[in-house]
DNA sequence: AAAGAAAATGAACGATGTTCAATTTTCCAA
DNA sequence: TTGGAAAATTGAACATCGTTCATTTTCTTT
C-alpha cells in the first residue's frame, strides 16, 4: 500500500502549495484582491483543482488562520525556559507583539475572520478553540503569578482577559494604522513603548 | 431660490435614507452579504440612484464609519461634567465599552475598514484623523491626570495608547467572540470585569 | 405649453466564487 | 504490454456582484 501513502503525501503537498501561494497573494494584494483564479494561476493549476482541495475560499482562509495560531504557539515555546512566572508573563507579551508586528498580514488574518464566516459553524468553534488555546497559556501563567503572591486582590479570568485585550488591542491598532499609511517610522514602535508602561505597572503588583 | 434649497434638502434626505437602509442591512446581513441592489430595493430606488449619491460601496462604508465616530464622541459629552480627571478617565472607559458592546456591528465597521480601503487615500487620512480625534480626548485626560500627580514615572503618549489599546482590544475580542456564537450570556460582560481589574490597578498609581 | 435642467433608471459589462460534465492521467491486474 | 477502472485535473458555464452610462422620466423656468 505504498502507493496510497505517496498519494496521500502528494495531496498534502498540493494542499500546502495552494496555501503557500494563497498566503503570498493575500500578503501582496490583500485578501479581497486575491482571486481563486490568481491562486490557481500562480501554481499552474486550474481553478477546479483548488476546489478539489478546499471547499471554498473561506476554507483557505481558515487553514491559514490555523497556521497562524500554530506559528504563534511555536514562538511561545522559548518561554518554557523561563521559570519565574512573572518574567515569563512579561516575555510572553513581547513575543506576542513581535509576532504581530513582524507578520501584520498574518495577524490580521487571524483576528479579522468574522465577516466571511458562517455563524455557528462547527469549524467556527474550532477556530475559537485554537484562540482559546493560546489564551490558556496566558491564563496558566497569570495563575502561577497569583500563586506566587502577585496580583493581590485581583481575579484570574478578568485579569488575564484584560492583559490579552491590551496586547491585542495595541497590536491591531498599530497594524491598522500602518496599513493606512500612517507610519511614523520609529525604530521602537509605540506598541513596545505602550507595553513598557504596562511592565512598569506590573512591577508594583 | 427656495427651490434650490428644497432640492438640496431632498438630496441630503435621500443620502440619509440610503445610509439608514445600508446600516440596517449591514447589521442584519453583514457587510459582504449586503449588495448595492439590496440597498436600492430596500428604499424603492434603482441601483443607479445609489451611485448618484455615493461614489461606490466604500463611500457608503466610509460615511457610516464617520457616523459611528460622531455617535461615539456624542456619548463622550456626558464626561464634561466630571471635573476630576482621574474619575473622568475611568468613566470614559466605561462609556467606550458600553458603546462598543451596545453597537457591536457599528463598532466593527469603525475598526475593520482596512481591507476595502485604497492605500493612502486622502479619505483614508480623514478616517484616521477622526480616530485620532477620539484619541485626543483620552490623551488630554491622561495628561490632566499626570498634572495632578498620577502616573508618576510614566510617559504620556505610550500610556494613553496602552489604555486605548486595552479597552479597544477587550471590546473587539468580545465582539468577535459573540459574532462567532461563543456567548456565555453573563449579565456583566467579561469586558466590564476586565476593565474593573484595570480600575483597581489605577487606584494604586 | 415648451424647452431645458436635473434626477432617476436599468440594461449591460467585466470580474468573481463556484459547479460539474468532460477529459486526462495514473494505476494495477491480466 | 495493455486495457480499462479509478483518481486527478480541467475549463466552460452559471449566478451574482460592483459599477457605468446612454436613455428616459420628472421637475423648473420662461
Instruction: Determine, for residues B125 and A176 on separate chains, whether the beta-carbon distance falls below 8 Å.
Output: no
Partner-chain residue, chosen from B127, B181, B201, that has the shortest CB–CB distance to A119: B181
Phi, psi of B155 (to 5 degrees): -100, 140
Rounded distance between C-alpha atoms, residue A126 and residue A118, angstroms: 13
Residues B73 and B119 both lie in one domain: yes
Which of A9, A25, A54 marks a domain boundary? A54
For A111-123, b where at least 16 C-beta lie within 10 A, e where not — what string?
Answer: bbbbebbeeeeee
- Asked if pLDDT for residue B186 goes beyond 70, the answer is no
Rounded distance between C-alpha atoms, residue B137 and residue A24, angstroms: 39
**pLDDT for A188:** 73
The DSSP annotation for A138-178 comes to: HHHHHHHHHHTT-STT--HHHHHHHHHHHHHHHHHHHHHHH
Measured between CA atoms, the residue of chain A closest to residue B117 is: A180
Q: Is the ipTM of this complex over 0.85?
A: yes
Measured between CA atoms, the residue of chain B closest to residue A173 is: B165
Rounded distance between C-alpha atoms, residue B13 and residue B7, angstroms: 10
Which of the nucleotides in strand D have any atom less than 7 Å away from a protein CB atom?
A: 7-13, 16-22, 28-29
Rounded distance between C-alpha atoms, residue A118 and residue A122, angstroms: 10
What is the C-alpha R_g of chain A? 20
Given a contact cutoff of 8 angstroms between Cβ atoms, the answer to whether B195 and B94 are in contact is yes
- State pLDDT tens for residues B78-120: 999 999 999 999 999 999 999 999 999 999 999 877 645 544 4
Contacts B188 to A, Cβ<8 Å? none
Average per-residue pLDDT for chain A: 89
- Asked if pLDDT for residue A76 goes beyond 50, the answer is yes
Residues B49 and B98 both lie in one domain: no
How is residue A117 annotated by DSSP? P
The answer to whether A49 CB sits below 7 Å from nucleic acid chain D is: yes
Residues B7 and B101 both lie in one domain: no
- Asked if pLDDT for residue A56 goes beyond 50, the answer is yes
Residues A129 and A38 both lie in one domain: no
Query: Number of folded domains in chain A?
Result: 2
| A11 CA from D1 C1′ (Å) | 30
- Asked if pLDDT for residue A120 goes beyond 50, the answer is no
Residues A179 and A121 both lie in one domain: yes
What is the C-alpha R_g of chain B? 20
| B4 CA from C2 C1′ (Å) | 22
Angle among Cα A136, A139, A143 to the nearest 5 degrees reads 140
Instruction: Determine, for residues A114 and B127 on separate chains, whether the beta-carbon distance falls below 8 Å.
Output: no
CATH code for the domain in which residue A161 is found: 1.10.357.10
**pLDDT for B93:** 98
- To which residue does cell 500578503 refer? A27
Count chain A–chain B contacts defined by CB atoms under 8 A.
154
Number of C-beta neighbours around residue A133 at 10 A: 13
**pLDDT for A119:** 42
Q: How confident is the model at residue A205 (pLDDT cuts 50, 70, 90)?
A: confident
C-alpha cell at A94: 513581547
B37: containing domain: 1-54
Residue-level length of chain B: 205
Given a contact cutoff of 8 angstroms between Cβ atoms, the answer to whether B197 and A164 are in contact is no
Question: Beta strands of chain B (E only): which ranges?
Answer: none
Using C1' positions and the CA of B116, the closest nucleotide is D18
C-alpha cell at A121: 459553524
Residues A31 and A96 both lie in one domain: no
The full 3-state SS of B71-87, as one line of letters, equals HHHHHHHHHHHCCCHHH
Cβ-in-10-Å burial (0-12, 13-18, 19+) of A106 comes to buried
Residues B89 and B45 both lie in one domain: no
Nearest to A38 by CA among A63, A53, A18: A18
Amino acid at each position: 500500500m505504498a502507493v496510497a501513502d505517496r498519494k496521500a503525501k502528494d495531496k498534502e503537498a498540493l494542499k500546502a502549495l495552494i496555501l503557500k501561494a494563497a498566503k503570498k497573494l493575500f500578503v501582496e494584494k490583500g485578501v479581497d484582491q486575491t482571486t481563486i483564479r490568481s491562486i490557481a494561476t500562480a501554481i499552474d493549476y486550474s481553478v477546479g483543482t483548488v476546489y478539489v482541495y478546499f471547499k471554498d475560499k473561506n476554507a483557505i482562509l481558515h487553514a491559514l488562520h490555523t497556521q497562524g495560531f500554530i506559528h504563534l504557539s511555536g514562538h511561545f515555546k522559548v518561554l518554557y525556559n523561563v521559570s519565574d512566572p512573572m518574567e515569563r508573563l512579561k516575555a510572553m507579551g513581547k513575543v506576542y507583539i513581535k509576532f504581530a508586528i513582524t507578520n501584520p498580514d498574518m495577524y490580521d488574518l487571524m483576528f479579522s475572520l468574522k465577516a466571511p464566516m458562517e455563524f455557528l459553524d462547527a469549524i467556527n468553534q474550532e477556530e475559537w478553540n485554537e484562540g482559546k488555546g493560546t489564551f490558556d497559556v496566558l491564563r496558566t501563567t497569570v495563575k502561577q503569578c497569583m500563586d506566587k503572591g502577585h496580583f493581590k486582590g485581583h481575579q484570574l479570568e478578568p485579569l488575564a482577559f484584560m492583559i490579552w485585550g491590551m496586547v491585542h488591542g495595541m497590536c491591531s491598532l498599530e497594524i491598522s494604522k500602518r496599513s493606512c499609511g500612517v507610519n511614523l517610522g520609529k525604530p521602537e514602535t509605540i506598541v513596545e513603548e505602550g507595553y513598557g508602561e504596562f511592565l512598569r505597572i506590573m512591577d508594583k503588583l
